[in-house]
Amino acid sequence: MSFRSTPEQSEIISAELVSQRIVACAGSGKTATAVRRVFEIRKRLIAQSGHVALLSYSNTAVNTFRKAYELLCAESPQLSRRVLIATVDSFMTSQILLPHASRMMGCTRQPFLVHGNELFLKNCRVFNGSHNVDIEYLHVSIDTDGGIAFTESSSRGRRKSVSPIDAKNAINKLAKFGAYTHELGRYWSLMTIGKENRLLEILARKYPYILVDEAQDIGSMHGVLLSLLQEAGSTVSLIGDPNQAIYEFAEADGSYLRNFKPPNGGYCQNLTENWRSVYDIVNVANQLTAANSKTAREVPTRKHGAFLIQYDPKKLTELLSTFSNILQSNGYTKVEASVICRGTALLEKLSGCAVDIGQGATEKFARAAICRDNLGDISDAFEWMLGGILKILDNPEHTLKHDILSGSNEIIPKTMRRLLWKFLKNSTTGLPHARLNAKSVWLPSLKKRLSSLLNDIETQCELSKLETWKHNVTAAKLNDNSLLQDDFIPSEMDGINLQTVHRTKGESIGAVLYIANPKDISNLLEGPVSEEGRIGYVAVTRARDLLILAVPETSYKSKAKLLKQKGFIDWD
């Protein structure tokens, strides 16, 4: 289907080469707009030097942009040159961190990323005033006075201040190895360009035009980088939806986009037409956000809209069966449907994961099996598998995990990658299937096969296993049921995607079942004034034709009237 720009899109695409702030409602075609804006800029710069950068916040978005841009360049291949499409972090890493930051870090090698759990990280822990914590939980931000703030972040997003002296000691100790975490990659990038002003000028000249997609996700560190580049001469434009700022734990609350003022005669523009969702769903989104977006969709013939159903939290299998029946009865295929929820705990329960899946290395191998056999995520499965192996090797190189995951062609990481993929992909001779009884069958099989794998690693990679490696692959916190609850997921749910709200961001889904708890519903009704409210908004706006909000029976009486005022109706 050929792209036909709306008047709003045409105005953005054809605007003068100045800074833009574009606030786009959900489903407004901002991806198509952004990539065509970059194409238009590139055409106008054909006789000039300098690159155009299109930056976003996920690899999925980047891949989508690259494919779309390649199609646009099919008849004009010269326009494919001098265009960089990458994540914001990748831009910082490739343009600043890897080529230049070693001078600031005081290391003698190119910096490398650590993923956590590397054994040498124990030497770089951070004292938080009461005890030491892993450096992977050290969060770095820019405070309201423009200074650098260090906090300890937990998995729940809570923050605890850390002494700058203690934080910098740990950071510098890690830097001597040449290592950085995701957080510290941003820190060292900013430290480098802050120290070397010439580098900032070079970057601004190399990238005179920068367009940032998903700009509601800009946090304090990225915001400083973009502001510095703008001051140095880059024309920076932003496109995003502040109502979809759901990474507040990373200080991405949409404020940078909301407060951005395009300089030098720049434009503030809007995309207000929703091409994704039917009127009833757009109406709910408008009621939640006090917006005035318009639907551009044709009315489908199958049953559609925004509906409420009640459920018993103790009978989730019945809820899943009900949703499956609704799909079948109303002409929806399983591949166009998703069940989404707020948190990973409910997702794991919905996925049929057992509660007790071991600890230490055992848990990592168990999660690898679950990812492979139940969630169909072979990439995550490989990373869990690698994490388990590293816990039972004797003092592997600091860079080994990074080298394996980054695709290094060095002989040891390349050989390790081959051995681990072979072990992971074959449940008969490698990592046992997650549906085996965990304690009596799965674990003994795992130990026997790991022994063979470790022998291969020692022979082919010259890496030694721990003499006591079996002590790290124990039966602790394993029961004798399967790692998966075979009887939990109704068979009719096979083929229907199960996701958290965060994983659906940017997706367009035909039919959505959003399973909410009482707190989720209260946050949804409050609107996008908090991160939790914005998470609810993202869940609602993923649906194209059918949105079903599942409300606990105990909350239905108190919440139904308020939800109906927002545009929901009961499913009949």
Parallel/antiparallel/unpaired status of strands 543-552 and 305-311: parallel
Please, which residues have CB within 8 angstroms of residue 442's CB and are 6 or more apart in sequence? 366, 369, 432, 433, 434, 436, 482, 483
The whole-number pLDDT of residue 158 equals 55
Element housing 565 (H / E): helix 553-565
- Reported as type and span, the H/E element at residue 547 is strand 543-552
Direct distance between the N- and C-terminal alpha carbons of the chain, in angstroms, rounded to an integer: 35
**Angstrom distance (rounded) from CA 396 to CA 387:** 12
What values do phi and psi take at 192, rounded to 5? Answer: -70, -50
Please state the residue numbers annotated as binding site.
Answer: 24-31
> Computed from CA positions of residues 458, 463, 464, 466, in that sequence, does the dihedral angle turn out positive or negative?
negative
Q: pLDDT tens for the chain, 572 residues: list them.
A: 467 889 999 999 999 999 999 999 999 999 999 999 999 999 998 767 789 999 999 888 999 999 999 999 998 888 888 999 999 999 999 999 999 999 999 999 899 988 776 778 888 888 877 778 888 888 898 887 778 989 887 544 456 788 889 999 999 999 999 999 988 999 999 999 999 889 999 999 999 999 999 999 999 999 999 999 999 999 999 999 999 998 877 778 899 999 999 998 899 999 999 999 999 999 999 999 999 999 998 999 999 999 999 999 988 888 988 999 999 999 999 999 999 999 877 877 776 665 678 888 999 999 899 888 876 678 888 999 999 999 999 988 877 888 888 778 889 989 999 999 999 999 999 999 988 888 899 999 999 999 999 999 999 998 999 999 998 899 888 888 888 765 555 556 667 888 889 888 889 999 999 999 999 999 999 999 999 999 999 999 999 999 999 999 999 999 999 999 999 999 98
Phi (first) and psi of residue 482, to 5 degrees: -70, 155
Residue 6 DSSP one-character state: -
Which residues have CB under 8 Å from 308's CB, separation 6+? 548, 549, 551, 556, 560, 563, 564, 568, 569, 570, 571
Q: What is the 3-state secondary structure (H, E, C) of 60-120?
A: HHHHHHHHHHHHHCCCCHHHHCCEEEEEHHHHHHHHHHHHHCHHHHCCCCCCEECCCCCHH
| Largest pairwise CA distance in the chain | 71
So what's the pLDDT on residue 519?
95
Report which DSSP code applies to 492.
Answer: G
Beta strands in 79-228 (DSSP E): 83-87, 112-113, 126-127, 132-133, 138-142, 148-153, 159-161, 179-180, 209-212
CB–CB of 400/462 below 8 Å? Answer: no
Which amino acids are annotated as binding site for ATP, given as ranges? Answer: 24-31
CA-CA distance, 156 to 421, in Å (whole number)?
32
Q: What is the pLDDT of residue 494?
A: 65
pLDDT at 485: 65
